Amino acid sequence: MKRFLAFMLIIFCIFSAIAALYIHDKGVKAQTLYWGSRGDDVYELQRKLKQWGYYTGPVDGYFGAKTHKAVVYFQRKNGLRVDGLVGRETRRALGMAVATNYAASRGISNRDDLYLLAQLITGEARGEPYLGQVAVGAVVLNRVEHPSFPKTIAGVIFQPGAFTAVSDGQMFRPPTSTAIRAAADALNGWDPTWGALYYYNPARTTNRWIWSRPVHLVIGKHRFAR
């Protein structure tokens, strides 16, 4: 009897481990979308493509010919691999979730981080185009991942001298609804800057060092650099 119970315990542990690995895998990986896919992710894909003028078909959650054509158009216009598949890089460019635990992997612990990031975006990029507001949020998150900066959103934002809006108090006003959406898109993995760690407005900055950074992108009044 004892041997039987020990055997059953071993079997239970093995199946539990397999189940845990399966659940972890399902939680970490985001689905690649392709012709024939259906569901909420396809709704989100179509909504974003339609919002930006790439897609004119119905937002119905079905990845058909028109959605495929729109994805190819988006990939071609944004310098991505043109294959009609919505994998990791295309998801990131669209601002779609790359992984369900993406926020936790970037030092984001709760809704306070979303609000804090939206406050900074409001203070730093109010009046900038929406793409530029997402880009400011992305710079903060890029710093969280970089070894030269603090490992949390709050740590990056409140690093002494890092952001003018913190120094002059502009970020401590209530965030705009646009900034909240931009913060959420940045937290979901959309990085219009392709890895920038710095940005500045050349008409306003007094920091001579920042001019030495190689600029690889301009959005609105901000120059983005690595």
Model confidence pLDDT, tens digit, residues 121-154: 999 999 999 999 999 999 999 999 999 999 888 8
Name, in order, each residue with C-beta under 8 angstroms of 146's C-beta and a sequence gap of 6 or more.
197
Q: Which residue has the higher pLDDT, 103 or 77?
A: 77
Assigned token pair, 122 = 């409001």
Task: Name the CATH superfamily, with its identifier, for domain 40-94.
Answer: PGBD-like superfamily/PGBD (1.10.101.10)
Task: Express each pLDDT in 149-176 by its tens digit.
Answer: 998 888 899 988 889 899 888 888 888 9
Side-chain-side CA neighbours of residue 75 (13 Å): 19
- Computed over every residue of the chain, the mean pLDDT equals 79
pLDDT at site 117: 93
Q: Give yes or no for residue 19 having a pLDDT over 80.
A: no
Q: Give yes or no for residue 7 having a pLDDT over 50.
A: no
Question: Considering the chain, what percentage of its residues have pLDDT values greater than 90?
Answer: 25
Question: CATH 1.10.10.2520 region(s) of the chain?
Answer: 103-225
Neighbours of 151 (CB within 10 A): 13
- Helices 111-125, 130-145: inter-axial angle, 10-degree rounding: 120
pLDDT bin (cut points 50, 70, 90) of residue 13 is: very low
pLDDT at site 3: 56
Question: CATH 1.10.101.10 region(s) of the chain?
Answer: 40-94
Instruction: Report the alpha-carbon angle 168-174-175, nearest 5.
Output: 95
State whether residue 217 is helix, strand or coil. strand
Name the CATH architecture for the domain at 103-225. Orthogonal Bundle (1.10)
Task: Express each pLDDT in 25-47 by its tens digit.
Answer: 333 345 678 887 787 788 889 98
